[in-house]
Amino acid sequence: MYHNPSSLEQDLWNNWINDKNSKNANELIHHYEYLVHFHVERMCIHLPKSINKEDIKSLGFIGLYDALKKFEPNRDLKFDTYASIRIRGSIIDGLRKEDWLPRSLRDKVKKVDQATQSLEQKYQRSPNPEEIAKYSGLTVEEVENTIKDSLFSNILSIEEKSKTDYVQETGIGYSIADDSSQSPESKILQKELEKELKEGIKELNEKEQLVISLFYFDELSLTEIGQVLELTTSRISQIHKKAIVKLRKTLNKLKYLSHVNGQ
C-alpha cells in the first residue's frame, strides 16, 4: 500500500487478501470504522435535524465495505483516503435516492429560490435574508434555516453536475448498449472492441492507467483522484487528457458502436 501500515493493520490486510471471508472483512471494517464516524459527523452538520444519523451511518458503512471490496493493495493508493471518498460518495448517493428533503422544507426552498431570483434581477445583486423574507412572506429565521437546510441539497446537485459536465466537455463520455437489445453480431463486435480498449489501456504508463481506472471504473472525480494520489486537480486533469489522446481512437469506436446499437 501507499503508506507504511502498522503490524496489526498489515496482518488484517494479509488475512483479507488470503481469504476474503466475512470474518476478515468485519475485522477490517471495525479497524476503519472511525472513518465512517468522522465523515458522518462532518456531513450531518449540513443536514436537517429530521435526518436520522444512524441511517447516515448505515450509508457510510456501505461505502466502507464497497471500498474494501474494490481496493487493490498493490495499487499506489492510501486506503483511508480511498475509503473516505467511497464513504462520502455512498452517503451522498443514499441521500439523493431517498429524496430526503421534507415537503414543507421543499416548499420553502422553492419560495426562497423564486424570491432570490426575482430580487437579483431587480437589484442586480444578491439579496439579503431580510429582503428575501419580506418578498416571500417567510420570517427571517425561516429564510436562514431554509438556506442552511437546503445547502446540502445544492452540494449534491453541484457535485453530480460537475462530473457530468466534465465528461461532456472532454467529449469522451460513452455508453455501451444494453446486452438485451443487441444482436449476436453486435455482441461479438462489442467484445472485440472492449478487448481492444483494454489492450490500449495497457499501453498507457502506470500513472495514466491509474487515473483512467479511478475515473471510469471507480467513478471518482478528478479532485477526488488528486486527493488519493496527492496531486493537484490540474495535474490529474493533464494526466487524464494525455491518456485520452492515446485512447481516443479506440474510445471513438466504442462510441460509434453504442450509437449504431441505439438506433
Query: Domain holding 139: CATH number?
Result: 1.10.10
CA atoms within 13 A on the CB side of 29: 18
In this prediction, residues 248-259 reach a mean pLDDT of: 58
Position 30 confidence tier, pLDDT thresholds 50, 70, 90 = very high
Residue 118 burial (10 A CB sphere; 0-12, 13-18, 19+): middle
Is residue 40 predicted with pLDDT exceeding 60? Answer: yes
Confidence of residue 61 (pLDDT cuts 50, 70, 90): very high
Distance separating alpha carbons of residues 142 and 163, to the nearest angstrom: 32
Asked if residue 86 has pLDDT above 80, the reply is: yes
Within-domain flag for 1: no
Is residue 164 in a domain?
no
Q: Which domain holds residue 111?
A: 101-159
Q: How many CB atoms lie within 10 A of CB 28?
A: 21
Domain boundary among 49, 70, 98: 98
Q: How many domains does the chain have?
A: 3
Find the Cα–Cα–Cα–Cα dihedral 152, 157, 161, 163, rounded to 10°: 40
Shared domain check, 106 and 93: no
Question: What is the Cα–Cα distance from 144 to 133, expressed in whole angstroms?
Answer: 9
Q: Name the residue with higher pLDDT: 88 or 60.
A: 60
Same domain, 94 and 105: no
Torsion of CA 222, 223, 229, 232, to 10 degrees: 100
pLDDT band at 155 (very low <50, low <70, confident <90, very high): very low
